[in-house]
Amino acid sequence: MNIILKHTFKSMRQNKAQIAMVVATVMVVVAMFFASLSMFDIFFNINAAEFVRLSADADMIVGAHYDGQFYSPEELDNVLEPFADNIVYKKSFIKTTGVLKTKSENVAILVEATNLEQYLDGAPLYGKYTQGELAYPKIVVNQRFAGENNLQLGQTVEVFLATCGDYKKFSIYAISDNIGIFASGSAINVLIDLDDAESQFGLINVTLLKFKDKSIFEQVEERLTNDDNMSSISVGEALNTTYSREIATNNTLLFAIALLFIVGMMVLILVTSYIIIVKSRLNEMLIFKTAGATPMQTTLIMLLEASLYAIFGAFLGLWVGRGGMALAERVLLANFTSAITYQWWKWVLAFVVGIIVTLASVLAPILKVSKQSIRQATSGTVKEVKFAKPAFLAVILLAIALVIFAMRSLSIFYAFAFSALLIVLIAIFIITSSSRVHLWVSKLISKVSPKGIIALSATTTKRNATAHNVSILVATVTAFSFMVVAIIDFINVVLTLAPSRYSSDYVVEYRYDKMPEQAELLSLERELAEHQGVDSAYLVASAGLEWKDTTGKYVGADKWVNLIGVSNVSNLQSVMAEPANIEYSPSFQGVQNPAICNIDIIKRFNLKLGDTLYFTIEEPDGSKRDYQHFVTIVGIDYTTTEYDKYIYTNLNILYDEQESLKPTTRYFVNAQPSAYLSLRTYLENKEELGKRAFIFKYERWLYASALGLG
Amino acid sequence: MLRVKNVSKTFDGKRMVLKDASLDIQKGDFVSIMGASGSGKSTLLTIMGGIDKPTLGEVYLEGRCISNLPERELAILRRTKIGFVFQFFNLAPYLNVEENILLPIILDRKKAKDYKDKVAEIMEYLKIMPFRDTLPTKLSGGEQQRVAIAKGLITEPQIILLDEPTGNLDSASAEDIMHLLVKINTERHTTIVQVTHDEHNAAFASKIFHIKDGQIENNEHNT
């Protein structure tokens, strides 16, 4: 073996800690980069999988997948009559929320009713089927759902059907594998026959159409939207790839920003680690120099060493990235519409990027040492660290604040550009401030342990550049750790929707067509609270409407807010997950319609305590008009995430416009576990509620709500 | 062969470490540069060997000015025409004795196998053959300096510069090394320049230059 190569291999045994850090850093860079190359596939499939599950290979959907408006199938046939020869299939569905009642609890479900025999002939389900006679109509559930709820073949279950407004008994006919209509890992759906849904007049709310020639799509769409009887029914692509692609692109861009931060921090870690490594290699390089090594040769020797770390780290990174993606596939998506692809170029690109990032990062410290003359390298002078002036640090901090502000205000594409600037500023701040922080820390520690290593490290000759490098490394690793936590949090938000802001044991959902009287709602709140084993019950009624923006700055979803009516805003914290995070204005008692806004609204709309908010109502036909009530901000809720916009106010103002607002009502109940079944019986037997109040365990309800089944 | 002409050196622009130093070294000379610690003798040696550059003045090796050569050319000079032996920084810790001696050859992109006989000859000459496969850390200080000298000799340089070569050795080992240098000088006609603060070791040379506060005070011929 070449003597220099042999020496390099052997000298690598020194600096084990730094080398481990370099290899681990390269590994993370490559793993993240490799994952990012397939992240679009993940995001796209997450969004598209649900469409595919519901729409199979259909071209057009007439209606909506969740609780869409009902219509007559005969009316639809009339409209489609001119295209009859061009339709491969037409599948009619009723898709509506329901409640499956097991012995131990209620489960919110999506009831999908269709011509069961025809459907199963066309799309056979793999799984277990009953052979014997069934006591009740057939119901098909999926394997995961059956496992979670301990359901067996042939078992009788009760399902509340919104179509008939009552519970109905079914026998479990089949437990399907999680494929086809049961493909989505997140779906909690059951399949029944259309006739068993007992829909009035045979109305349906979803039809899937498959055309021989897809070019007729626009003609069909036009005819449906112009038809008097069908014009209010939504029509669209069955598999909305455009929508999925848009979401996936935005999420991927956000992920890329996160990745940019990680790589930026990683580069700083690599540079600092390598400064330490080359300093410890200085004696060896001096030996080579005195033996006649040119600067180029010493550079190549050290680059060779760095390349070995890069290759090893990149190799590990590829497998860590691939393993991470496999885990993500398994956890996030039970089945894929199109497999996530790992083409050869992704492996090569991630590997090459890892090597390039590493070598580019270590080049500066290596060149610095290589260019030094023997005399410079052996001069033995201790470099005193330079302290940045406080004014300079203040300017950098101000610049960071401005860039963050700009990133929050600008669109995602500009935010991407600004994030690079932010990384540079953060790096400058870490490099320039770490020596001062190091000095302060060591001074502080010197008061406790004056002769300790940390105390001495920032005094006299020990306050040198090496100590400064270690400070930068520690600061960078800390910043990186913080960033990783923030990014994991971000990915959680992207993938698992907004976390709940409430805290309770159970949720009672009250489903109605017309909002009951306020006294009735409040009476139920009292009754629930007084039930045996119940500690508290809290009424929450919510409706969506738009913030009346006079600036014209906000459009679309940015203006959309949830107005939540509660019996008393002053004790809102009793139901919140983080009650201490609510800040009340001291003078809110006399305010007409007091409102507590979450911090997202405050920031987004640039609001403050005491401001008055006005709203716009959007009618079903798309027209807009002013909402007759206004609210005044008396408090801020800091607990909510930035992905939702909520305003809490008094319940009564939701009544006047309930026809347009269609508020939903639920009660958060804190109770002993033993109270659950007696509460369920109580709600079922209370005639005034008309069997339309259901109690769910909180986590189950939260999950169903996230899927639009709440 | 080696001429130092009016060389001055300052590191901080204020204090002169060397002041207008001049000296001539002829081929085959064994020269000692003597002085107290901080007198500027090591600085003079590094300037003579192209390791450092003078602030003023020039250094000529075989009539060619080497004071302002770029680092790359100086490196080539060090591995072809000048051998160096320092008190420290001499041997690569993870290479055995033979590999250390071969290091300048490898760095000169020559094949090690072509120098196998020559390495053996030098090791025999310096009596270090038994340590051929030994790592430097397993050797005594005197043995390490012998290996360092062997490394300095492998390229057959015209001049070997030694900076306190016995500074880290006991008196018996130091004496041994000095006799070895005399042997190399007389038998191989290699020019040797050493800096030392030890009068006894300095006396092994044929010429002695005294340096004080950066100035060469006198030179004497040692008989």
| C-alpha–C-alpha distance, residues B158 and B29, integer Å | 11
pLDDT digits (tens, 9 = 90+) for B55-67: 999 999 888 898 8
Detail the DSSP E strand segments found in A57-145.
60-63, 87-101, 106-114, 127-129, 138-142
Distance from C-alpha of A341 to C-alpha of A343, rounded to nearest angstrom: 6
SS3 A211: strand
Give how far A389 is from chain B: nearest CA, Å: 25
Q: What is the pLDDT of residue A461?
A: 43
Q: Which burial class, exposed, middle or buried, applies to A288 when counting CB atoms under 10 A from its CB (0-12, 13-18, 19+)?
A: buried
Q: What separation in angstroms does the CA of A541 have from each of A515, A525, A664?
A: 10, 12, 5
Give the domain ranges of chain A.
3-48+243-496, 57-237, 506-706
Residues B89, A293: C-beta atoms closer than 8 Å: no
Sorted by sequence, the CB contacts under 8 Å of residue A133 that are 6+ apart come out as: none
CB contact under 8 A, A297 and B75: yes
Q: Kindly list the residues from chain A whose CB atom is less than 8 angstroms away from the CB atom of residue B79.
A: 291-293
Task: Considering only the beta carbons, identify the residue of A10, A284, A295 that sits closest to B71.
Answer: A295
Q: What's A462's DSSP letter?
A: G
Closest alpha carbon within chain B to A297 = B107
Neighbour tally for A275: CB within 10 Å: 23
A293 and chain B in contact, CB less than 8 A: yes
Q: Which residues of A touch B51 (CB under 8 A)?
A: 290, 373-375
Alpha-helical runs (H) found in A631-674: 658-661
> Residue A274: what are its φ and ψ, rounded to 5°?
-75, -30
- Chain B residue closest in CA terms to A375: B52
Quote the minimal CA–CA distance from A9 to chain B in Å.
9
Dig out the tokens for B97 from the structure: 């004795």
Query: For residue A709, what are its two tokens?
Result: 């089944």
Closest by alpha carbon to A93, among A109, A77, A116, A74? A116
* B15, B80, B87, B107, best to mutate vs chain A, most A CBs in 10 Å: B107
* Per-residue pLDDT at A140: 92
**Residue in chain B lying closest to A295 (CA):** B72
Q: Return the pLDDT at A525.
A: 92
Ordered by where they begin, the domains of chain B are 2-89+143-149+156-221 (3.40.50.300)
Look up tokens 């071969």; give the residue: B102
Contact A288 B103 (CB under 8 A): yes
Residues 6+ apart with CB under 8 A from B102: A3, B112, B115, B119, B154
Answer with the residue of higher pLDDT: A412 or B99: B99
- With CA atoms as reference, report the closest residue to A256 among A497, A491, A493: A491
Choose the mutation target among A374, A376, A378, A384 for the interface with B, i.e. most B CBs under 10 Å. Answer: A374
Q: Rounded CA gap, A566 and A539, in Å?
A: 6
Residues of chain A found within 8 Å of residue B95, distances taken between Cβ atoms: 3, 6-7
What is the enclosing helix (H) or strand (E) of A185? none
When mean pLDDT is compared across A452-461, B68-77, B93-102, the lowest value belongs to A452-461
Confidence at residue A172, expressed as pLDDT on a 0 to 100 scale: 93
Q: CA of B104 to nearest chain A CA: how many angstroms apart?
A: 5
Measured distance CA(A14)–CA(A277) in Å, rounded: 9
Task: Establish, for the pair of chains A and B, how many residue pairs have beta carbons separated by less than 8 Å.
Answer: 80
pLDDT at A184: 60
Closest-CA distance, B136 to chain A, in angstroms, reads: 13
B104/A371 touch (CB, cutoff 8 Å), yes or no = no
Residue of A nearest to B113 (CA): A2
| Amino acid type, A429 | F
For A285, the token pair is 């390089």
pLDDT score, position A625: 86
Least confident of A7-16, A541-550, B97-106, B203-212: A7-16
A160-189 residues touching B, CB cutoff 8 A: none
Better-scored residue on pLDDT, B168 or A214: A214
Which residues in A28-77 belong to E strands, given as ranges? 60-63
Question: Cα angle at A528 between A526 and A530, to 5 degrees?
Answer: 70
Provide the sign of the torsion angle of the four alpha carbons A651, A654, A659, A663, taken in this order. Answer: negative
Residue A335 has a CB neighbour count (10 Å cut-off) of 17
- The pLDDT value recorded for residue A335 is 47
CA B170 → CA A119, A350, B204, distances in Å? Answer: 98, 57, 17
Name the strands in the sheet holding B56-61, side by side, starting at the edge strand that comes first in the sequence: B16-25, B2-10, B56-61, B64-65
Buried b (16+ CB within 10 A) or exposed e, A44-57: bbbbbbbbbbbbbe
For residue A10, list chain B residues with Cβ-Cβ distance below 8 A. Answer: 94
Is A2 near chain B, with CB under 8 Å?
yes
CB A676 within 8 A of CB A697: yes
Give mean pLDDT in consecutive 10-residue pieces for chain A, a chain of 710 residues. 77 75 84 78 66 70 79 90 89 88 88 85 74 89 86 91 88 82 71 90 88 89 87 79 69 72 77 79 81 85 88 91 78 52 84 89 86 68 70 89 77 68 81 78 73 58 60 71 61 52 87 83 92 91 84 72 84 76 77 86 84 85 83 84 75 81 87 92 85 87 72
Chain B residue numbers with beta carbons less than 8 Å from the beta carbon of A379 are: 11
CA dihedral of residues A51, A53, A58, A59 (deg, nearest 10): 10
Spatial separation of the C-alpha atoms in residues A301 and A117, rounded to whole Å: 73
The residue behind tokens 């002695």 is: B208
| A703 touching chain B per CB within 8 A | no
Of A7, A289, A291, which has the smallest distance from its Cβ to B94's Cβ? A7
Of all residues in chain B, the one with the smallest CA distance to A289 is: B75
Locate A577 and state its tokens: 């997950």
| B64 token code pair | 């060619």
Find out whether B151 and B90 touch, Cβ atoms under 8 Å. yes
Over residues B198-220, the mean pLDDT reads 84
CA atoms of A541 and A525, how far apart (whole Å): 12
Q: How far apart are CA B11 and CA B5, in angstroms?
A: 19
Check CB contact under 8 Å for A296 and B93.
Answer: no
Q: Are A423 and A267 in contact (CB under 8 A)?
A: no
Q: Which chain B residue's Cα is nearest to A282?
A: B89
| Residues from chain B contacting residue A285 (CB–CB below 8 Å) | none
User: SS3 sequence, A142-179?
Assistant: EHHHHHHCCCCCCCEEEEEECCCCEEEEEEEEEEECCC
Question: 3-state DSSP call for residue B200?
Answer: helix
Reading phi first (left if > 0) and then psi (alpha if -120 to 50, else beta), residue B164 is in left
B103:A379 CB<8 A: no
pLDDT at A691: 79
Residues of A in contact with B72 (CB under 8 A): 294-296
The pTM for the full model equals 0.55
- For B43, name the nearest residue in chain A, comparing CA atoms only: A375
CB atoms within 10 A of CB A216: 18
DSSP helix/strand/coil, A635: strand
Q: Which of residues 271-290 of A touch B (CB under 8 A)?
A: 283-284, 286-290
| Selected residue of B89, B147, B155 to mutate for chain A interface (largest A Cβ count, 10 A) | B89
Cβ-nearest to A292 among B86, B90, B108: B108
- Closest residue by Cα to residue A478 from A444, A429, A440: A429
Chain A, residues 361-380, CB within 8 A of chain B, namely 371, 373-375, 378-379
List, in sequence order, the alpha helices (H) in A372-464: 374-377, 390-409, 412-448, 453-457
Task: Name the residue of chain B whose CA is nearest to A296's CA.
Answer: B72
Please name which of A67, A227, A69 lies closest in space to residue A620, comparing C-alpha atoms.
A69
Q: Apex CA A282: angle with CA A278 and CA A286, to 5°?
A: 140
Q: Do A294 and B76 touch (CB under 8 A)?
A: yes
Q: Supply φ then ψ for residue A57, to 5 degrees.
A: -105, 20
Nearest-CB residue to A297 (from B52, B53, B107): B107
Q: Do A291 and B91 touch (CB under 8 A)?
A: no
- Decide if A295 and B75 are in contact by the 8 Å CB cutoff: yes
Q: What are the distances in angstroms from CA A663 to CA A565, A651, B223? A: 9, 10, 114
What is the rounded distance in angstroms from the CA atom of residue A91 to the CA atom of residue A182?
Answer: 17
Residue type, A527: E
